[in-house]
Structure 1
Amino acid sequence: MAFTLAAPCEYREEIRKSRFIALAAPADSPQAAQAFIAAHGDRAASHNCWAWKCGAQYRFSDDGEPGGSAGRPILAAIEGQDCDQVAVLVIRWYGGIQLGTGGLARAYGGSAAKCLQGGECIALVERLPAQCHVPFAELARIRARLAEWQVSIESETFDADGALLQLALPAERFAELGQRLSDLGRGQIQLVRRD
């Protein structure tokens, strides 16, 4: 099972006079991950190394450190903590003592891992795409219930009779939620899977 962070977290340490600050945050898309990195990088620092993972997509950067000594160890820390939909930025202020590529990999990967370990993790639930058409008379009530059931509304398209809701819902609850919607709408609301 994969996990993400409930909220951003931070870890600081000094290694042979170099200061490291690891910042991690949930990121549900590559764009959100890149935005987090852009917003939290420090131009005054020696290096802003980072990695993110969103499902099958991932990226990392060594930001001037020797190849493979920073970004890849940060990504390895993300994967080692069974994290997904997470961005990690490790900022380094050089302290004058060379760490070597092995020392850099341990410093960056270790800071990232300790940051993720210190954060509050929540399990990622597999979400299933679905849709249903809701009459106008039921729309406000159905929206409130969907929020209670942890179903997110991705989009709404209105027509003369109501709204077509594009939803993302916990996969293991599809049948249960379909029945609840049908009951609430007195048989008028049918939950359908979409591709």
Structure 2
Amino acid sequence: MSLLRTTSVHDALDGLVHAARVAAVERDVPGAHARIVQAERTFAAHRAQEETHWLPLYTARCVPHPNATPTVLLRDHALIASLLAEAPTHGGLALVDLLEDLAGALEHHDQRERTHFKPALDAVLTPAERTRLLELHAASEQALDAPPSRVTTPWTPTPDAPVQAVRAGLLAGQPLPDTLEHVL
């Protein structure tokens, strides 16, 4: 079993963003916004899994590739989340442009994870730890498949002040704190 099995969430996000782009080009702004809401929900669950369970292990045990440091991965998450949050405020060509940027950000993030993050983490996990991460991922995917009224996600889109401060610092180019425990 490999953590690379969990790349289906990236495929789902790519599909949702593509569908939103098609809808935007066809001038179906409500349809595009509906896909963006789905993508935002899917990404929030993905982000929660990585930042709560995966990144602390990666930070503690791996020597990260320069293109997949915790700082880079958290910046990717912040950028993708901000693009998803901003998208519903746009229509027309501005929405098409924003969705193009979002597709690029998702592609780069996915490449980092497939090439560096997940293989490095895979190499240092015990079988029990790997199984636990895969179980958490599967539970998160099942929650996303449930009707929205029954879904509970561990991620809240409005993090508390310490988390906001660290993320703002990362976006401003400041180094990642020595420990992520107070952030996550």
Normalising by the smaller structure, the TM-score range is under 0.3
More helix by share: 2
Q: Which structure has the bigger radius of gyration?
A: 1
Q: TM-score, normalised by structure 1?
A: 0.21
More strand by share: 1
